[in-house]
Amino acid sequence: MKALIIGCGRVGSALSKRLLDAGWEVSVVDESEEALGRLGETWPGEFHVGHALEIGVLEEAGIAEADTCIAATDGDNTNIVVAQVAKQRYEVPHVAARILDPARAEFYSGKGFDVVSPTGTAIEALTESALGGERV
């Protein structure tokens, strides 16, 4: 299985390492060369430097052959556009995007790719925690 991870911050890098450990082929794209450092001393997978919306970079990183594409940059709108490009232009079988803003996360849910909203998850967990505390 081949994974394309867009964005190598805390989330993207940790996710890349986990998928690699699970036996996947992993290709990572980030705007900055330094982001490679997050993947550890020796990274056996692919790493490409470039902007997430550049067709040339995405193709070089293997978007056309990817089984999954995860958009995990720090920009919600970048992730939203990349996810749709992966799904609609390259027909990547599985696509997911990280969308921090719960409102945009809700709007883009059900548009053909998975939406993961860390903020939404935090809101739910903290609400549950607070309501749980009330019962004590």
Partner 1 sequence: MFVLVVGGGKVGVSVTRTLLALNHEVVLVEQDRPRFEVLEEEFEHRAVYGDGTELFVLERAGISRPPDIVVAVTGDDEDNIVIGQLAREKYGVGKVIARINDPRNEPHFDLLGISPTVSATSMVLALIEHEVPQHELVHLLELRKENLEIVEVEIKKGSSAAGKRVEELRLPETTRLISVMREGKAEIAVGSTELQPGDQVLAILEPGGETELKRVLLDGKARA
Please select the residue that binds partner 1; options are 34, 64, 88, 125, rule is CB under 8 A: 88
Look up residue 90 and give its two tokens. Answer: 């390259």
From 84, 94, 116, 119, residue interacting with partner 1 (rule: CB under 8 A):
84
Interface with partner 1 (CB under 8 A), residue from 25, 46, 54, 74: 54
* CA–CA gap between residue 110 and residue 122 (Å, rounded): 21
Give the x-and-dash track for 92-131 against partner 1 (CB under 8 A): ---------x-xx--x------------------------
Contact 60, 51 (CB under 8 A): no
Sign of the alpha-carbon dihedral angle for 95, 54, 63, 118 = negative
Cα(29)–Cα(122) distance, integer angstroms: 27
Segment contacting partner 1 by CB under 8 A, of 32-40, 60-68, 72-80, 120-128: 72-80
CA atoms within 13 A on the CB side of 97: 29
Q: Over the range 83-98, which residues count as b (16 or more CB within 10 Å of their CB) and which as e?
A: bbbbbeebebeebbbb
# binding residues, partner 1 (CB under 8 A): 17
**Minimum distance from CB of 37 to partner 1 (Å)?**
26
18 binds partner 1 (CB under 8 A): no
- By CB under 8 A, tell whether 14 contacts partner 1: no
Least CB distance from residue 69 to partner 1, whole Å?
Answer: 15
Could you say whether residue 89 binds partner 1 (CB under 8 A)? yes
